[in-house]
Amino acid sequence: MTPLGIYIHIPFCLSKCAYCDFYSRTATKEDYDEYTRALVTHISEAEMRTSDYLVDSIYFGGGTPTAIGERNLIKILSAIYRSFKVSETSEITCEANPNSVTARGLKKLRRAGFNRISFGMQSAHLAELRNLGRTHTFDDVKAAVENARRARFENISLDLMYGLPSQSIGDFLDSLDAAIALSPEHISCYSLKIEPDTPLAERPETLFLPSDDEQADMYLAAVTRLSDEGYTQYEISNFAKDGFSSRHNMKYWTLGEYWGFGPSAHSLVGKKRFSYIRDTSRYISAMKFHDEVIEKIETINTSERCGEYLMLGLRTTDGIVPETVEKKYLTHFDEIEKVLLKYHKTGHAQFDGTKWWLTPEGFLISNMIIGDVLDALEISEHLVRPLNGYVRKDV
Amino acid sequence: MAKKENIRNFCIIAHIDHGKSTLADRLLEHCKAVTEREMENQLLDDMELERERGITIKARAVRMDYVAKSGEQYVLNLIDTPGHVDFNYEVSRSLAACEGALLVVDASQGIEAQTLANTYLAIEHDLEVIPVINKIDLPSADPERVKGEIEDIIGIPAEDAPAISAKMGLNIEAVLEYAVENIPAPTGDDSAPLRAIIFDSRYDSYRGVIVYLRVMEGEIRPGMKIKMMASGAEFEVVETGYMLPRGERKTDSLSAGEVGFFTASIKNVTDTQVGDTVTGAENPAAEPLPGYRTVRPMVFSGVYPADGAKYPDLRDALDKLKLNDASLTYEPESSAALGFGFRCGFLGLLHMEVIQERLEREYNLDLITTAPSVIYKVKKTDGEILMITNPLNYPNPSEIEWAEEPFVAASIISPTEYIGNIMELCQERRGEYKDTKYLDQTRVEIHYDLPLNEIIYDFFDALKSKTRGYASLDYELTGYRKSDLVKLDILLNGDPVDALSFIVHSEKAYARARRLAEKLKEHIPRQLFEIPIQATIGSKIIARETVKALRKDVLAKCYGGDITRKKKLLEKQKEGKKRMRNLGSVEVPQDAFMAVLKLDE
């Protein structure tokens, strides 16, 4: 049976963050219930097509999933259990804002089967949080982590952001240390990206954003600090204690299959990538009338898949394996290797005889490296059959 | 054939946006020269580029029939003119074909910079200037005040000026009545030897060159042998006629006072230079009409296809543009940085931009253009004299006995309050003051001798901004003067980039080199390695900047497994890369080559 991840999108937030261009809206209790019914319908109708899959990861993201209340979250989880075969050792994550969930709520979630919780901490500094339009405080984060522990969550993740308006390296490391002090199993560090049409994009010159160089320094300092504290980097922005890499995240990077439910949710099932319509009201009414909600669907052919393998693999510390490129994707690796050798010389890429991966400095310029690798893929020779093993070159 | 006393030849002049093209459209509509179905805004500016920029590049003329209230039937020839200093000469030839000009003034804005400059130009050509107050539909319109302004500032009667709204089609007939009453009919003896002025020409692949002209004296008819008085070329006329907004009508002849066209199986527009006088080959006029000037390109620049494989396409495109544009010249050249391309000659910077845009749009080419240059004259120590249009060919300083650069006599007309600003600007551009003439109490004409290379970049723009748009500029090449010139080279990552070299006066070299290095730094994206940018004269480095190595270019998050978003980003990145040129180890975006142009911004 093929492992499958399920993603549940909750497009509601209690407040809108200044940097967010993600689709979400505020709503009433009735809206939440109606939306929950729509999701439950959608999930139930998925049933017949799922017999070959074993679900090993469920992820509630948003938006702010906890906005719709624990009862609704649990209803949705039950619907998944009814329609899919779910492994007993599944990772079941819920994203939450530190001030959006109570001790009781956490207990309920834990009892219903959720075993991982991911808090959007972002920063330990009040001024930074307010600049981002976040409504919580660092004390909320502390309390939330304590409550989660008390509710017997043994897998807690904290999200941090760097490159914030007016942030110095020192400020960022303060936040990082504060997060580490709470001993979460998993930490994500994302750089703030100013998306068009968000409040932060309105007057970027007044934000005093750290320069790219300063941001690079923040990132490298974080990688070192986290590694010293026992958090191993497994992807550009993700760090975890041994055994606590996020199974759900990893599906994205390793071409694992996942099915996302909800408006604007993305899926990779079989050879197809598809996404659903972005509008929540339209999504809800489509579910009532059993209409189609697919907005875009594409079949990924072998050469595109190879591109995805390279592009996504190079985001992880597991990197890419030349033998896989040649055997599975029937593509000669020599052109790609030329590119990687160039970056090896400059300390941006590494090779251990089996796999290539990017160093933290390489991750920082991964857009450029991946772009070059994909250009090399375009001129790479296609193989009729696999070569006799990848011949290792000395680097 | 129309009765001469019932012909009116005129142009429309206005400040930008005061409604020149809209009025033209309404006049055509009113005279039923176009049906409503054909009516498309701004009929006369039919080049896509013209519509977009709101400027007229090519002159053209169109004929309308108008029955006046008196019952008289009139023939109106509307001649549209270009509007930029690069084309000043073409404008003057179009004006020479008219007896009158409609001066369109916005009823709320009143007299503006271009209103004045254009009016003076028209008055210089002895045109009867007829004011028209436009946009009276606007709430802020104050026609009476504007009429007063016209009388006070320009000094032409405006009491009876029609107050109209071209946009709403209000009072259009009044304009036509006013025009036929006040614009003088053409004069000229039909039986005198032919003298006609060429104001434009265009190549047609079936009929050869179509020559647009105004007959001043005599007549021209099919079968007649004619001669171009300046170029000396002789042809036999195949057809004569006049233009309608869409299409044309053939006639048996065109006689004194008429505006129209002829064809004569002419292969090349260089035989039909704007301003030349057409006369009969068998019974030639004694004297050509005054005002002819040979148009020579003054500005040269290398034009290269971004994709080297498109070189033949670029050549074909230039061949085709040349058919319609006698002032464009080009010859093949090559550059180590840019490969094969052409050294092209232009009238000025706008002409250069227009040609470049037409090549990109109409012929779908991606171009890289090098810094514009003038023709320098160099005498080498071995006695050889070189005319240099490409900085690459500039000899080593040790081989140069002397160098000369072209100078122009510039005449700037402006309201008196900007004299200080203008003099400051001209001084800055190494100008030599000649004199100031007071045209009246409020206007002066200032004369300067200026090096041509100081005015080709952005002099006109600087002049406009320092005089709030009120000054007008005309210049004429006067000759060469000795000058202390140096060649400035640019090195990227230690390697010289030939396409970025340019010749500059030694006094200006340091400042220019510094600005250029800064500009290049802005334009060259950070790359894997640190890239030094150096500006050198000979082996001496006079400016240096560094593009630091790229340290951060990462998409931190893939939201909810949305891989397409990341793919799109990479595709966009790839598009950007396509506009880059690989120079050794450095990737340089195409616009960096143009950065040299905009040093003063």
Q: Residue by residue, what is the 3-state secondary structure of B418-455?
A: HHHHHHHHHHHCCCEEEEEEECCCCEEEEEEEEEHHHH
Question: To probe the interface with A, which of B528, B552, B564 has the most A CB atoms within 10 Å?
Answer: B552
Angle in degrees, 0-180, between the axes of helices B172-182 and B20-30, rounded to the nearest 10? 90
CB-nearest partner of B570 from A273, A361, A370: A370
- Alpha carbon B130 to its chain centroid, in Å, reads 26
CB-nearest partner of B552 from A215, A237, A346: A215
CB-CB neighbors (< 8 A) of B551 in chain A? 212-213, 216, 361, 364-365
Pair (A35, A144) in one structural domain: yes
Region A201-221 average pLDDT: 92
Q: Which of A121, A159, A118, A150 lies closest to A137, judged by CA?
A: A121
Query: What is d(CA A259, CA A222) in angstroms, rounded to the nearest whole number?
Result: 32
Question: To probe the interface with A, which of B527, B554, B564 has the most A CB atoms within 10 Å?
Answer: B554
Q: Find, in chain A, the residue whose alpha carbon is nearest to that of B530.
A: A346
Out of A234, A252, A270, pick the residue that ends a domain: A252
Pair (A140, A70) in one structural domain: yes
- Gap from A388 CA to chain B (nearest CA, Å): 32
CB-CB neighbors (< 8 A) of A371 in chain B? 570, 573-574, 577
Q: Which of B436, B375, B380, B439 lies closest to B408, judged by CA?
A: B375
Lowest mean pLDDT among A112-121, A172-181, B116-125, B413-422: B116-125
CB-CB neighbors (< 8 A) of B529 in chain A? 346
pLDDT at B93: 85
Q: Which residues contact B577 (CB under 8 A, 6 or more apart)?
A: A371, A375, B587
CB-CB neighbors (< 8 A) of A364 in chain B? 551-554
Pair (A224, A307) in one structural domain: no
A325 lies in a domain?
Answer: yes
A43 lies in a domain?
Answer: yes
Query: What is d(CA B353, CA B351) in angstroms, rounded to the nearest whole number?
Result: 5
CATH number at residue A316: 1.10.10.920
Q: Find, in chain A, the residue whose alpha carbon is nearest to that of B570.
A: A371
Judged against a pLDDT cut of 70, whether residue B50 lies above it is answered with no
Long-range contacts of B234-240 (CB under 8 A, 24+ apart): B234/B281, B235/B264, B235/B265, B235/B266, B235/B271, B236/B264, B236/B265, B237/B262, B237/B263, B237/B264, B238/B207, B238/B262, B238/B263, B238/B264, B238/B265, B239/B207, B239/B263
Pair (A176, A46) in one structural domain: yes
Contact between A213 and B560 using a beta-carbon 8 Å cutoff: no
pLDDT at B380: 95
Pair (A225, A308) in one structural domain: no
Region B49-57 average pLDDT: 48
Q: Per-residue confidence at A25, pLDDT binned at 50, 70, 90? A: low
CATH number at residue A58: 3.20.20.70
CB-nearest partner of B574 from A216, A260, A371: A371
Over residues A274-325, the pLDDT tens digits come to 999 999 999 999 999 989 999 999 999 988 999 999 999 999 999 999 999 9
CB-nearest partner of B573 from A237, A361, A371: A371
pLDDT at B11: 92
Q: Which percentage of chain B shows pLDDT scores above 90?
A: 48
Residue A319 in tokens: 């990197």
pLDDT at A51: 75
Out of A219, A252, A285, pick the residue that ends a domain: A252
How many Cβ atoms are within 10 Å of A328's Cβ, its own excluded? 14
Pair (A57, A136) in one structural domain: yes
Pair (A245, A316) in one structural domain: no
Over residues B477-526, the pLDDT tens digits come to 889 999 999 999 999 999 999 888 989 999 999 998 999 999 999 999 99
Over residues A124-150, the pLDDT tens digits come to 999 999 999 999 999 999 999 999 999
Mean confidence (pLDDT) of chain B: 87
Pair (A196, A338) in one structural domain: no
Pair (A246, A372) in one structural domain: no
CB-nearest partner of B558 from A216, A252, A275: A252
Contact between A364 and B553 using a beta-carbon 8 Å cutoff: yes
Instruction: Please give the tally of structural domains in chain A.
Output: 2
Q: Which of A198, A232, A247 lies closest to A58, judged by CA?
A: A247
Q: Which range marks the domain in which residue A172 is found?
A: 2-252
Q: Which of A172, A315, A232 lies closest to B556, judged by CA?
A: A315
Judged against a pLDDT cut of 90, whether residue A354 lies above it is answered with yes
Q: Which residues contact B559 (CB under 8 A, 6 or more apart)?
A: A22, B565
Pair (A50, A175) in one structural domain: yes
Burial (CB count within 10 angstroms: exposed 0-12, middle 13-18, buried 19+), residue B484:
exposed
Judged against a pLDDT cut of 60, whether residue B130 lies above it is answered with yes
pLDDT at A249: 92
pLDDT at B461: 81
Out of A252, A282, A315, pick the residue that ends a domain: A252
Query: Across-strand partners of B130?
Result: B102
A257 lies in a domain?
Answer: no
Q: Per-residue confidence at B54, pLDDT binned at 50, 70, 90? A: very low
Is residue A231 within 8 A of residue A241, CB to CB? The reply is: yes
A356 Cβ under 8 Å from any chain B Cβ: no
CB-CB neighbors (< 8 A) of B577 in chain A? 371, 375
A346 Cβ under 8 Å from any chain B Cβ: yes
Q: Greater confidence, B543 or B413? A: B543
Region A6-23 average pLDDT: 87
- Gap from B587 CA to chain A (nearest CA, Å): 13
Region B356-373 average pLDDT: 88
pLDDT at B55: 45
Contact between A365 and B552 using a beta-carbon 8 Å cutoff: yes
